[in-house]
Amino acid sequence: MNKEQGHSTMEGDFLCPHPLDNAQYKILEGQYCRLEVLNCKTNENVVEELFNCFKSNENVHFQYLKYGPFETIDEFKDLIYKNEQANSKTVMYTIFVKEQPMGFICFARIQCDQGTIAISGINFSQQLVRTREATESIYLLLTFAFDTLGYRRVEWRCNALNVKSRQSAKRFGFQYEGTWLKATISKGEIRDDAWHSIIDDEWILLKQEYQQWLNPINFDHNGQQLSKLNAAQINPRKQFSDKSV
């Protein structure tokens, strides 16, 4: 077994490395974008650009998130600091496209002893929405979680009212598992949470689909896709169905 992957402890539990255990993985490089750990050591200019890139549509953008909009850059820095603490079980990444910060994305609910991890806090700026770079950022985290770190399960949880997030989860190959009623409180409101996941058994075929879609030959000279990402159809799990999206 690859030493970066999960291994059995003396008690027989499954133990996976934390995403920050190896410094070489603080940067995840793709064909079209780069993910770089976002923390208190991040360049001030990068933090400021991230803060500003959501200003034009912040009321809509942060509608279903538990944080934001941010009135000041210090509020945004507070979120970065809070998520950097070990007890947050979160790792934030800046999404760079041609050296320009265009959003951020997170690993969350990291449970090394259970082999489970979540992709969360997905913040694509308007320039990033519906682009191959946005899809590749998801692919990079999935590849890192399954292939490098050896996690068994990657989760996607969102506000059940957030139809766009549920549709995105489906497009990316996450399977709907059910909705937890009155599961959490967000901005003073009780919310239902819709749960989705990809498990390691499903990743082999999904990875091939991502790679085919991300291949440069799948895009015309204007950058438009020639074929759609069919991850939802590739994933063979059929136990559940989300009829609401």
Q: Does residue 2 fall inside a structural domain? A: no
pLDDT at 241: 59
- HSE-up of 13 (CA within 13 Å, CB side)? 9
| Mean pLDDT of all residues in 83-94 | 95
Q: Does residue 237 fall inside a structural domain? A: no
- Total domains in the fold of the chain: 1
pLDDT at 235: 67
Cβ contact 155:119 at 8 Å: yes
Q: Does residue 145 fall inside a structural domain? A: yes
Global pTM reads 0.92
Q: Does residue 238 fall inside a structural domain? A: no
pLDDT at 12: 46
CATH number of domain containing 204: 3.40.630.30
Q: Does residue 92 fall inside a structural domain? A: yes
Report CA 11 to chain centroid distance, whole Å: 31
d(CA 145, CA 35): 14
Residue-number span of the structural domain to which 144 is assigned: 7-232
Q: Does residue 115 fall inside a structural domain? A: yes
237 pLDDT band, cuts 50/70/90, is confident
| Mean pLDDT of all residues in 139-163 | 98
Average pLDDT, rounded, for the chain: 92
Residue 71, φ and ψ in degrees, nearest 5:
-75, -35
Within 8 A by CB and 6+ apart from 42, the residues are: 36, 80, 94
